[in-house]
Copies of this chain bind each other. A is one copy, B any other.
Amino acid sequence: MKSRQYLLAKRPVGTPTAENWDYVETELAPLGKNQISVKVLYISLDPAMRGWMNDGKSYIPPVGIGEVMRAGGVGQVIESTDDNFAPGDYVYGGFGVCDNAVISTQGVHKVDPKLAPLERYLGVLGMPGMTAYFGILDTGQPKAGETVVVSGAAGAVGTVVGQIAKIKGCRVVGIAGGEEKCRYLVEELGFDGAIDYKNGDVKTGLKEQCPDGVDVFFDNVGGDILDDVLTRINMKARIVICGAISQYNNTTPVKGPSNYLTLLVNRARMEGIVVFDNIENYGKAAAEMATWIAQGKLIAKEHVVEGLATFPDTLLMLFRGENFGKLVIKVDHAQ
């Protein structure tokens, strides 16, 4: 079985470019014990991928030079040496940025295309949904009547965070780039307000949209937006640090939050989250979110780009703020 693959050729300095990738075609090894071969159908593109391209200690090891770029995906089993998986099964796993993969079945699980479109298992029903669910509920601890602000609000995680906070009875304000996204958050997802950081001052927007201050801030963006929100936090506010996409391509040091001493004045808390810590509770979370989806309380949004070869460019959409909902590549396969 052949596979087209994106290998990490070189660690990026700043924004990844063509020279960071090798796009190759390889003959895959035959299956070993407890392995499957998979036809990859959808590939998940996530801000965290930028971190995996760097060397150095993080919550998981970096991708090695010459290795297939790490990515979650959904695909269909072609062959299997594991009794739990049969050809034809649809599965979620870390297949990487490629069109076919041979992989050990540890960490692979089946998904049901009758319950949800396959790409949704990379969004609301996948890592971003889990990140949002545990981050906002366990770490953010929103209470009815509180004001919740989320940055990267139109992204895979942000859309879910805001909708869950609405379900919990909060006033929800999203920070996103562009009028279309902001309108969508309010009109389609039911956010109480949206602030367009590309068109106006975030501080002014926060004053207008959060007259009672900010009780919970779920931050995907970092940089100036984090600093602006820190000036508006309430007593005992919770700031959930999920990511800092504005800083991932920096060639200079990350911009730390100059206003962090508002944590002191307000006895507030800033806490980091990593979704994998909740792995034993994914099932419960997925069931609750599936119920909300069925009840129309939680709307899923995916942004699908076609073609494996678009990968280097499509990845950059995340850092330019161009994706609208969960960004996935739909893999093209010869008939």
Q: Are A258 and B267 in contact (CB under 8 A)?
A: no
CB nearest neighbor in B for A254: B258
Q: Which residues of B contact A277 (CB under 8 A)?
A: 267
- Chain B neighbourhood of A259, CB < 8 A: 254, 256
Interface size, chain A (Cβ < 8 Å): 33
Residue of chain B at shortest CB distance from A256: B256
254-278 of chain A: CB within 8 A of chain B: 254-274, 277
- What residues on B are CB-neighbors of A242 within 8 Å? 264
- With A241-B264, A254-B259, A256-B259 as known contacts, state yes or no: A271 contacts B272, CB within 8 Å: no
Query: What are the residues of chain B within 8 A of A265 when measuring CB–CB?
Result: 57-59, 272, 274
Q: Say how far A325's CB is from chain B's closest CB, in angstroms.
A: 23
**Which residues of B sit under 8 angstroms from A260, Cβ to Cβ?**
241, 254, 256-257, 260, 270
Residues of B within 8 A of A262 (CB): 272
Per-position 1/0 for A81-99, Cβ under 8 A of B: 0000000000000000000
Q: Is A228 in the interface zone, CB < 8 Å from B?
A: no
Among candidates B244, B256, B267, B272, residue contacting A273 with C-beta atoms closer than 8 Å:
B267
The answer for the CA separation of A256 and B230 in the assembled complex, in Å, is 12
Contact between chains at B267 and A270 (CB < 8 Å): no
Given contacts A270-B269, A271-B269, A271-B270, A254 and B263 within 8 Å (CB-CB): no
Q: Are A258 and B258 in contact (CB under 8 A)?
A: no
Question: With A263-B271, A269-B269, A271-B263 as given contacts, are A227 and B256 in contact (CB-CB < 8 Å)?
Answer: yes
Interface residue? A253 (CB, 8 A): yes
Measured in the bound complex, the distance between the Cα atoms of B269 and A260 in whole Å is 13
Segment 18-62 of A: residues with Cβ below 8 Å from B: 57-59
Q: Which of A58, A261, A267, A272 has the most CB of B within 10 A?
A: A272
Contact of A274 among B243, B256, B267 (CB under 8 A): B267
Question: Closest B-chain residue to A231, C-beta based?
Answer: B57
A255, A264, A268, A277 — most chain B CB neighbours (10 Å): A264
Give A271 to B263 CA distance when docked, in angstroms.
6
> Which B-chain residue is minimally distant from A262 (CB atoms)?
B272
Q: List 15 A-B contacts (CB under 8 A).
A: A57-B265, A59-B265, A241-B261, A244-B261, A253-B258, A255-B258, A256-B257, A256-B259, A257-B260, A265-B272, A265-B274, A266-B272, A267-B277, A269-B270, A270-B271
The 9 closest A-B pairs by CB, nearest first: A256-B256, A264-B272, A263-B272, A256-B258, A256-B257, A269-B271, A270-B270, A253-B258, A254-B258
